[in-house]
Amino acid sequence: MDSEPLLQQQLDHHQSLAYSNHSSSKILTLPTVLTLGRVAAVPLLIFTFSVDSWWGRTATTSIFMAAAITDWLDGYIARRMRLCSAFGALLDPVADKLMVAATLVLLCSRPLNIAVFGQVPWLLNVPSIAIIGREITMSAVREWAASQNGKLLAAVAVNKLGKWKTATQMAALTILLATRDSSLGETGILVALGVIFLYLSAGLSVMSLVVYMEKIRKVL
């Protein structure tokens, strides 16, 4: 009679160990490796940006575009192949924010001279501060929400406005990096388009932050 509960306990223990081993083996899944690659690419991006030659500018743009593609790809693979992990979920937004923040700071370090806008030193500084400030704020808010209840965590889940913000942000930064290459010829219109996209992204960033805060206010 007493052997059945004991046997069940042993089975539960073995299943627990198997689950633990399975979870630990999923730390370095393919999506996580791609995410780690984005983190490792940040110092490389900084180096190539400082190289004042055609290959340096081309390499910088290529690195950022590869990072943007893998940002979508690692999420797709994780969902499609069921390779989601807690470590990957933690690292993915960190990698994105590092890449975007580094690119914005680098672009702000070299003011643009655009025929449409003229020489405006603060042209990229304003949207960059708005974007980086929003990301820092949302990181803190999501960390706080995770320590509270499920309703708060649901209130700060990524929405469509945040996705549009990311799309316009990636487009803007890709254009602004690519148009640094003088071999492309006259790029005034493209640069102006990149600046417009960046301001649009900054506006969406602020709007999405307001939406998140309003959702949190309703939950509280």
> What is the structure's pLDDT at 203?
96
Q: Flag the least confident range among 97-101, 118-122, 140-144, 146-150.
A: 118-122
> What is the structure's pLDDT at 185?
56
Identify the burial level of 180 via C-beta atoms within 10 angstroms of its C-beta, where 0-12 means exposed, 13-18 middle and 19 or more buried. buried
Which of 49 and 2 is assigned the larger pLDDT?
A: 49
For residues 110-136, average pLDDT? 82
Residue that has been written with the tokens 């069921």 in this structure: 82
> How long is the chain?
220
Tell me the sheet residues that pair with 119: 113
Region of 161 on the Ramachandran plot (φ > 0 left; ψ -120 to 50 alpha; else beta): alpha
Distance CA 172, CA 177 (A): 9
Whole-model pTM?
0.81
Distance CA 45, CA 164 (A): 24
Number of Cβ atoms within 10 Å of the Cβ of 104: 22
For residues 4-16, average pLDDT? 45
Of 170, 46, 159, residue with least CA distance to 96: 170
Q: Which amino acid is present at 143?
A: E
Distance CA 165, CA 206 (A): 10
